[in-house]
């Protein structure tokens, strides 16, 4: 099976890596986007430093909203294990990513053993018609909405009503919610940047802070993308900054607008894009003045790419460390179907050996 | 390779070497002077002080809470000067890479991260693995976790609790056990807002004292070299000296280490109800030989407080500067991140003075440890200035000129003449930490010791001298020369490996399946997950 191409021509991986390295070395404004495991992230960031590149997640917008909650506001959060064992009221805030629906179903199928009531009530905040993860046994979450008002507006109204203030439009089923909160010992709000705007996330934290004046409550962060949140953590320890950091001036600078890689590509700022993701590569819009290097799980070259190198999928083709929303931390997983395909980190390091005199630090 | 460090002033209290002499290194070990041996390399050390590499027993350098603090405070990096990029990621402010470089430049070669949540052990070790040059270690947090509290509540056999502690230490690759405001995080989840030594955790009926005593006994019985590392209740509160005094009394003949005692050195005298109780605590420590403490010195300026004492951090949210915090209810402790700026006002001055009083009034340098509780009292980069304050009364006097007079009036600091000697510094930052942690291979310069060596060129300014080592060797590799990194390498995480009881593993597997719906495999990891060659070094338990 061919595993590397320069343009449409099959080549040895070494040759493809060398060509990728030469493109990287001659680039004036390289950018990296990735959706990979922790090892791949570490290698990618180390390469970005050497190349003076900016880096971001391959689908960075939702993660940027989640990151901004922490960088700009702060948060009260709870571990998923404590949520399962303690949450007697669960509030689904906005539309959650599909990868998190299983956890919601699990919460619906269990009772909180560390709560005296041993039962859970479910609410969902968001506009009418918003999709809600399925609960077990036909149970339904009670809707809290202000008609078609935005999530942020609904949360603002909810917060105001909780404080006894008047609102222009009341939240549906508020009395049920207030009654549940009054009886609750540890309500937990499930949130994600998947569909929630920054203002909504901030308003939610305001509500949680209000609740904690007299009782307890917290929020369970369910990242829009688990690999992305894992990369955010690795980026923070490696550079001190989250994703959307760049090394253009030789040291790391975090700028969620300037280092938004999708924006840099669309604006024509980037002249080289190294895309790292085992997931099927979406067709790329060909850009005349930007070289594309793609590391992906593929059996054929990616259209428009100057270099394509096949990589394995973390946790399937090779062992990996990934973020898990189920534990709220990093987890080691074994390869489910180990293959000969190299990991993203292996290929990134190979490119680096051709581009730079010294090996990457990780 | 045979290296000779020639003509330095050697300060090695463990082996009684104090004075001018040579030191020999063969590969990664210190060796006796070879008969007629010719060195492959000679380091000229005349005019220099030669000590073992320093060891920091309590510095929050990696793990979930530290990383959350990085996320919370990207603006903190503006304070970092941009420096030439001579080493990988070395100018990445407040990163793992910079941490290792900055510690090495000061002559530190081993640093302990004192608060690892067992559920985040893999994350913690991945961060530690990305700290270059130095060796690291970490302490596993217990004492707010349901499994332990339930066992204590149910009067489980002593051996069963020991098996659990042993499993935790072994599976998380820890060097010891820490308890943080025992029981308070569990109580906070049930809306308890203050928690003292004899308060009881709701739903468990177990007091904080009982948790501490249970863990202290288990650690001792298992032969873990480092005594139970205790973060007491009521941190930062006026009157917290009473809590610290009660905890010291509770040691009751068994070894106990109290962390960052400065944060408990607070009395209630004066019109503000906040005064120094340092003299009282120092007297208690002096009279209780089984107790060791580290200080957690406050230095002035912006920092961020990072603690698994989630109840305390929640209560401190109002003092956040800038105004943003993270409070996390974890499976055991969780944590809180509260940025804070220590000003030279009454309270800041009082905290600063209390730390120095404790340093200077506790007589035995083998039982008092040099820390700022990085970054809680100050970043570890403040160490050189702190050394100067301990070694120079004049420096202390100069410093007090700009501080709160009303605070200093409630402190004994001005009346203390003591100045630490280099021998005492070598004990406090080298020999004693090695002894406390059970690291027999370091902290001294005897034959057979690991060649972790710091060489400082004498200077009138103690801060300049100890802040920028002339030479540093790590495992025999010359890593620092003239205060700059000259060789980039990877250290190890030092860990214990107590035997694990199979019945306890089965019990924990069942517990995790029942309570969390997960196999224990979700929390275990192979060494290979760290993606470094030989990421761990094993330290033996006491026999």
Report d(CA A77, CA A63) in Å as an integer. 16
Q: How many domains does chain A have?
A: 2
* Closest-approach residue (CA) in chain B for A48: B89
Which residues span the domain enclosing A286?
4-59+227-355
What is the b/e burial string over B346-368, where b = at least 16 CB atoms within 10 angstroms of the residue's CB? bbbbbbbbbbbbbbbbbeebbbb
Q: What is the DSSP string of B119-170?
A: GGHHHHHHHHHTSBSSEEEEEEE-SS-HHHHHHHHTT--HHHHHHHHHHHHH
Q: Is the pTM of this model over 0.90?
A: yes
**pLDDT for A360 beyond 70:** yes
Nearest 5°: phi and psi at B19? Answer: 145, 180
B375 preceded by a cis bond (ω within 30 of 0): yes
Report d(CA A12, CA A32) in Å as an integer. 23
Contact B119 A81 (CB under 8 A): yes
CB within 8 Å of A20: residues ≥ 6 apart: A274, A293, A306, A307, A309, A351, A354
Instruction: Sort out which chain A residues have CB atoms less than 8 A from B191's CB and list them.
Output: 185, 215-216
A336 touches chain B (CB under 8 A): no
Instruction: Sort out which chain B residues have CB atoms less than 8 A from A67's CB and list them.
Output: 71
Report d(CA B290, CA B247) in Å as an integer. 12
Mean pLDDT of B2-22: 98
| pLDDT of A36 | 98
8-state DSSP, B22 = E
A159 touches chain B (CB under 8 A): no
Q: How confident is the model at residue A281 (pLDDT cuts 50, 70, 90)?
A: low
Cβ-Cβ contacts under 8 Å between A and B: the total is 174
CA dihedral angle for residue B251, residue B257, residue B262, residue B266, rounded to 10 degrees: -20
3-state secondary structure of A345: helix
Examine the fold and report which residue of A185, A205, A221 is the final residue of a domain before the chain moves on. A221
Indicate if A231 and A335 belong to the same structural domain.
yes
Contact A86 B517 (CB under 8 A): no
Mean pLDDT of A85-96: 98
- Can you read off the two tokens belonging to residue A25? 């070395």
- Residue from A357, A30, A354, A22 nearest B88 by CA: A357
Contact A74 B326 (CB under 8 A): yes
Q: What is the DSSP string of A112-162?
A: -TTSTT---EEEEES-TT---PPPGGG--PEEE--TT--HHHHHHHHHHHH
Q: How far is CA A96 from the centre of its chain?
A: 12
| A241, A329, A361 member nearest B64 (Cβ) | A329
- Residue from A197, A209, A220, A201 nearest A163 by CA: A209
| A106, A215, A252 member nearest B517 (Cβ) | A106
Residues across chain A:
362
Instruction: Sort out which chain A residues have CB atoms less than 8 A from B328's CB and list them.
Output: 76-79
Residue A309 lies in a domain: yes
| A215, A233, A360 member nearest B191 (Cβ) | A215
3-state secondary structure of B83: coil
Residue A360 lies in a domain: no
Indicate if A210 and A88 belong to the same structural domain.
yes
Region of residue B475 (phi > 0: left; psi between -120 and 50: alpha; otherwise: beta) = left
Rg (Cα) of chain B, in Å, rounded? Answer: 23
Indicate if A151 and A233 belong to the same structural domain.
no
**pLDDT for A196 beyond 80:** yes
- Can you read off the two tokens belonging to residue B360? 């200077």
| pLDDT of B219 | 98
- The answer to whether the beta carbons of residues B4 and B418 sit under 8 Å apart is no
Query: How does pLDDT run across B153-187, given as a tens digit for each residue?
Result: 999 999 999 999 999 999 999 999 999 999 999 99
**pLDDT for B89 beyond 90:** no
Examine the fold and report which residue of A191, A221, A251 is the final residue of a domain before the chain moves on. A221
| B62, B190, B330 member nearest A185 (Cβ) | B190
ipTM above 0.85, yes or no: yes
Which one of B94, B331, B336, B340 would you mutate to disrupt binding with A, by most A Cβ within 10 Å of its Cβ? Answer: B331
Q: How confident is the model at residue B1 (pLDDT cuts 50, 70, 90)?
A: very high
CB within 8 Å of B16: residues ≥ 6 apart: none
| pLDDT of B81 | 46
**pLDDT for A48 beyond 80:** yes
Indicate if A19 and A46 belong to the same structural domain.
yes
| pLDDT of A286 | 75
Task: Tell me the CA distances in angstroms from B402 to A55, A159, B350, B392, one per residue in order.
Answer: 45, 46, 13, 17
- Can you read off the two tokens belonging to residue A191? 């949130």
Between A344-355 and A38-51, two packed helices, what is the crossing angle to 10 degrees?
A: 20
Report d(CA B523, CA A327) in Å as an integer. 8
Indicate if A86 and A149 belong to the same structural domain.
yes
Mean pLDDT of B351-363: 98
Instruction: Sort out which chain B residues have CB atoms less than 8 A from A72's CB and list them.
Output: 324
| pLDDT of B92 | 52
Report d(CA A237, CA B128) in Å as an integer. 10
Query: How does pLDDT run across B110-122, given as a tens digit for each residue?
Result: 999 999 999 999 9
Indicate if A129 and A114 belong to the same structural domain.
yes
A72 touches chain B (CB under 8 A): yes
CA angle B429, B434, B437 (to 5 degrees): 120
| B67, B97, B188 member nearest A233 (Cβ) | B67
Instruction: Sort out which chain B residues have CB atoms less than 8 A from A113's CB and list them.
Output: 515
| pLDDT of A349 | 98
* Closest-approach residue (CA) in chain A for B331: A82
Mean pLDDT of B499-523: 97
Contact A250 B91 (CB under 8 A): yes
| pLDDT of B486 | 96
Q: Which helix (H) or strand (E) holds B507?
A: helix B502-516
Residue A167 lies in a domain: yes
* E strand segments, B315-458: 325-329, 335-342, 368-369, 453-457
Contact B522 A232 (CB under 8 A): no
Distance from CA of B306 to the nearest CA of A (A): 14
- Residue from B4, B509, B333, B146 nearest A112 by CA: B146
Contact A326 B203 (CB under 8 A): no
| A79, A113, A232 member nearest B331 (Cβ) | A79
Report d(CA B468, CA B479) in Å as an integer. 13
Mean pLDDT of chain A: 96
* Closest-approach residue (CA) in chain A for B97: A238
Distance from CA of A210 to the nearest CA of B (A): 13
Which one of A53, A205, A237 would you mutate to disrupt binding with B, by most B Cβ within 10 Å of its Cβ? Answer: A237
Instruction: Sort out which chain B residues have CB atoms less than 8 A from A86's CB and list them.
Output: 189
CATH of the domain at A282: 3.40.50.740
Query: How does pLDDT run across B28-49, given as a tens digit for each residue?
Result: 999 999 998 799 999 999 999 9
Half-sphere exposure of B97 toward its Cβ, with a 13 Å CA cutoff?
Answer: 26
Report d(CA B155, CA B427) in Å as an integer. 41
8-state DSSP, A69 = I
Place of tokens 């042993």: B166
Mean pLDDT of B244-268: 98
Report d(CA A228, CA B525) in Å as an integer. 21
Report d(CA B114, CA B133) in Å as an integer. 19
Contact B89 A72 (CB under 8 A): no
Contact A321 B82 (CB under 8 A): no
Residues 9-48 in A contacting B (C-alpha not used; CB under 8 Å):
38-39, 42, 46
Report the greatest alpha carbon distance in chain B.
72
Distance from CA of B94 to the nearest CA of A (A): 5
Indicate if A212 and A119 belong to the same structural domain.
yes
Query: How does pLDDT run across B121-155, given as a tens digit for each residue?
Result: 999 999 999 999 999 999 999 999 999 999 999 99
β-strand pairing of B477-481 with B471-474: antiparallel
Report d(CA B147, CA B186) in Å as an integer. 12
| pLDDT of A280 | 78
Q: Where are the domains of chain B?
A: 54-411
| pLDDT of A1 | 60
B322 preceded by a cis bond (ω within 30 of 0): yes
Instruction: Sort out which chain A residues have CB atoms less than 8 A from B522's CB and list them.
Output: 324, 326-327, 331
Indicate if A213 and A237 belong to the same structural domain.
no
* E strand segments, B333-447: 335-342, 368-369
Indicate if A30 and A86 belong to the same structural domain.
no
- The answer to whether the beta carbons of residues B339 and B72 sit under 8 Å apart is yes
* Closest-approach residue (CA) in chain A for B74: A241
In CATH terms, B54-411 corresponds, of 3.10.450, 3.40.50, 3.30.160, 3.20.20, to 3.20.20
- The answer to whether the beta carbons of residues B478 and B471 sit under 8 Å apart is yes
Q: How far apart are the first and last CA of chain A?
A: 29
Q: How confident is the model at residue A68 (pLDDT cuts 50, 70, 90)?
A: very high
Contact B91 A329 (CB under 8 A): no
| A113, A216, A218 member nearest B515 (Cβ) | A113
* E strand segments, B439-535: 453-457, 471-474, 477-481, 484-485, 493-496
Mean pLDDT of A305-330: 98
Which one of B74, B188, B305 would you mutate to disrupt binding with A, by most A Cβ within 10 Å of its Cβ? Answer: B74
**pLDDT for B85 beyond 50:** no
Distance from CA of A110 to the nearest CA of B (A): 9
**pLDDT for B16 beyond 70:** yes
Residue A361 lies in a domain: no
| pLDDT of A118 | 84
**pLDDT for B191 beyond 90:** yes
A71 touches chain B (CB under 8 A): yes
Q: What is the DSSP string of B199-238?
A: -EETTTTEEHHHHHHHHHHHHHHHT-SSPEEEE-SSTT-T
Residue A335 lies in a domain: yes
| pLDDT of A139 | 86
Examine the fold and report which residue of A221, A251, A275 is the final residue of a domain before the chain moves on. A221
| pLDDT of A306 | 97
**pLDDT for B91 beyond 60:** no
Contact B329 A361 (CB under 8 A): no
A134 touches chain B (CB under 8 A): no
Report d(CA B306, CA B386) in Å as an integer. 21
Q: How confident is the model at residue B84 (pLDDT cuts 50, 70, 90)?
A: very low
Residue A289 lies in a domain: yes
- Residue from B175, B252, B177, B106 nearest B537 by CA: B175
| pLDDT of B90 | 53
Indicate if A176 and A95 belong to the same structural domain.
yes
Residue A233 lies in a domain: yes
**pLDDT for A162 beyond 90:** yes
- The answer to whether the beta carbons of residues A284 and A302 sit under 8 Å apart is yes
Instruction: Sort out which chain B residues have CB atoms less than 8 A from A338's CB and list them.
Output: none
| pLDDT of B418 | 98
Q: Where are the alpha helices (DSSP H) in B223-345?
A: 240-250, 278-286, 310-315
Nearest 5°: phi and psi at B436? Answer: -65, -35
Residue A145 lies in a domain: yes
**pLDDT for B82 beyond 70:** no
Distance from CA of B358 to the nearest CA of A (A): 33
Mean pLDDT of B440-444: 98
Between A13-26 and A344-355, two packed helices, what is the crossing angle to 10 degrees?
A: 60
- Residue from B514, B507, B470 nearest B157 by CA: B507
Instruction: Sort out which chain A residues have CB atoms less than 8 A from B74's CB and list them.
Output: 71, 240-242, 254
Indicate if A210 and A245 belong to the same structural domain.
no
CATH of the domain at A101: 3.40.228.10
Indicate if A191 and A264 belong to the same structural domain.
no
Region of residue A258 (phi > 0: left; psi between -120 and 50: alpha; otherwise: beta) = alpha
A106 touches chain B (CB under 8 A): yes
Instruction: Sort out which chain B residues have CB atoms less than 8 A from A114's CB and list them.
Output: 146, 189, 203
- Residue from B305, B301, B364, B374 nearest B336 by CA: B305
């Amino acid at each position: 099976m061919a595993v590397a191409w320069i343009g449409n021509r099959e080549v040895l991986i070494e040759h493809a890596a060398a060509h990728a390295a030469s493109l990287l070395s001659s680039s004036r404004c390289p950018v990296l986007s990735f959706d990979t495991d922790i090892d791949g992230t570490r290698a990618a960031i180390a390469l970005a430093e050497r190349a003076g590149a900016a880096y971001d997640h391959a689908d960075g917008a939702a993660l940027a909203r989640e990151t901004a909650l922490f960088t700009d506001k702060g948060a009260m959060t709870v571990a998923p294990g404590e949520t399962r064992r303690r949450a007697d009221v669960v509030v689904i805030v906005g539309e959650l990513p599909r990868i998190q629906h299983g956890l919601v179903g699990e919460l619906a199928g269990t009772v909180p053993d560390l709560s005296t009531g041993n039962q859970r009530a479910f609410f969902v905040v968001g506009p009418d018609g918003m999709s809600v993860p399925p609960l077990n046994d036909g149970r339904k979450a009670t809707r809290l909405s202000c008609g078609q008002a935005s999530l942020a507006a609904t949360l603002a109204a909810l917060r105001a009503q909780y404080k006894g203030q008047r609102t222009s439009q009341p939240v549906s089923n508020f009395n049920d919610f207030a009654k549940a909160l009054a009886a609750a010992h540890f309500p937990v709000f499930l949130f994600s940047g998947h569909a929630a705007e920054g203002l909504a996330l901030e308003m939610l934290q305001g509500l949680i802070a209000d609740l904690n004046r007299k009782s307890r409550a917290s929020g369970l962060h369910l990242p829009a993308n688990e690999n992305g949140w894992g990369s955010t953590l690795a980026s923070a320890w490696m550079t001190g900054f989250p994703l959307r950091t760049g090394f253009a001036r030789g040291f790391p600078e975090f700028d969620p607008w300037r280092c938004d890689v999708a924006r840099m590509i669309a604006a024509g700022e980037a002249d080289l894009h190294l895309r790292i993701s085992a997931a099927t590569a979406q067709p790329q819009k060909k850009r005349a003045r930007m070289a594309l290097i793609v590391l992906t799980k593929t059996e054929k070259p990616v259209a428009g790419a100057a270099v394509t190198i096949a990589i394995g999928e973390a946790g399937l083709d090779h062992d990996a460390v990934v973020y898990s929303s189920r534990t709220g931390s990093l987890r080691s997983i074994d390869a489910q179907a180990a293959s000969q395909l190299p990991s993203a980190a292996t290929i990134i390091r190979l490119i680096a050996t051709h581009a730079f005199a010294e090996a990457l630090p990780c | 390779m045979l290296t000779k460090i020639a003509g330095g002033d050697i300060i090695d209290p463990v082996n009684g070497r104090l004075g001018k002499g040579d030191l020999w290194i063969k590969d990664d070990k210190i060796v006796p002077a070879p008969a007629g041996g010719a060195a492959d390399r000679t380091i000229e050390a005349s005019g220099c002080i030669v000590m073992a590499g320093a060891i920091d027993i309590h510095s929050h350098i990696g793990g979930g809470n530290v990383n959350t603090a990085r996320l919370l405070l990207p603006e903190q990096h503006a304070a970092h000067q941009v420096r030439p990029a001579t080493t990988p990621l070395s100018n990445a402010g407040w990163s793992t890479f910079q941490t290792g470089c900055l510690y090495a430049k000061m002559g530190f070669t081993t640093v302990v991260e004192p608060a690892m949540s067992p559920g985040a052990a893999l994350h913690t070790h991945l961060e530690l693995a990305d700290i270059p040059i130095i060796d690291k270690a970490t302490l596993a947090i217990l004492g707010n976790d349901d499994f332990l509290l339930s066992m204590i509540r149910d009067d489980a056999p002593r051996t069963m609790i020991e098996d659990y502690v042993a499993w935790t230490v072994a599976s998380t690759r820890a060097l010891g056990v820490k308890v943080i405001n025992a029981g308070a995080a569990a109580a906070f989840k049930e809306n308890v807002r203050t928690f003292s030594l004899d308060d009881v955790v709701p739903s468990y009926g177990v007091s904080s004292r009982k948790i501490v005593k249970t863990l202290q006994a288990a650690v001792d019985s298992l032969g873990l070299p480092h005594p139970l590392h205790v973060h007491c209740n009521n941190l930062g509160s006026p009157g917290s000296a009473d809590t610290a005094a009660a905890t010291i009394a509770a040691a009751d003949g068994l070894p106990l280490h109290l962390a960052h005692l400065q944060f408990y050195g607070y009395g209630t005298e004066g019109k503000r109800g906040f005064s120094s109780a340092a003299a009282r605590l120092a007297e208690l420590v002096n009279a209780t030989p089984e107790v060791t403490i580290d200080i957690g010195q406050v230095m002035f300026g912006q920092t961020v407080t990072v603690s698994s004492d989630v109840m305390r951090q929640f209560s401190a949210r109002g003092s956040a500067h800038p105004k943003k915090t993270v409070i996390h209810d974890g499976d055991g402790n969780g944590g809180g991140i509260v940025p804070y700026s220590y000003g030279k006002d009454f309270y800041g001055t009082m905290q600063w003075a209390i730390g120095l009083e404790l340093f200077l009034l506790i007589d035995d340098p083998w039982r008092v440890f040099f820390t700022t509780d990085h970054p809680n009292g100050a970043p570890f980069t403040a160490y050189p200035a702190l050394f100067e304050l301990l070694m120079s009364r004049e420096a202390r006097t100069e410093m007090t000129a700009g501080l709160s007079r009303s605070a200093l009036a409630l402190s004994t600091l001005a009346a203390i003449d003591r100045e630490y000697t280099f021998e005492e510094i070598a004990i406090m930052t080298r020999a004693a930490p090695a002894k406390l942690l059970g690291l027999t291979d370091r902290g001294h310069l005897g034959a057979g010791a690991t060649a972790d060596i710091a060489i400082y060129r004498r200077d009138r300014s103690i801060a300049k001298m100890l802040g920028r080592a002339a030479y540093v060797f790590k495992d025999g590799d010359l890593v620092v020369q003239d205060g700059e990194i000259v060789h980039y390498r990877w250290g190890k995480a030092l860990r214990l490996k107590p035997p694990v009881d199979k019945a306890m593993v089965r019990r924990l597997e069942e517990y995790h399946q029942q309570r969390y719906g997960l196999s224990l495999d979700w929390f275990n990891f192979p060494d290979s997950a760290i993606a470094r060659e030989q990421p761990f070094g094993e330290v033996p338990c006491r026999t």
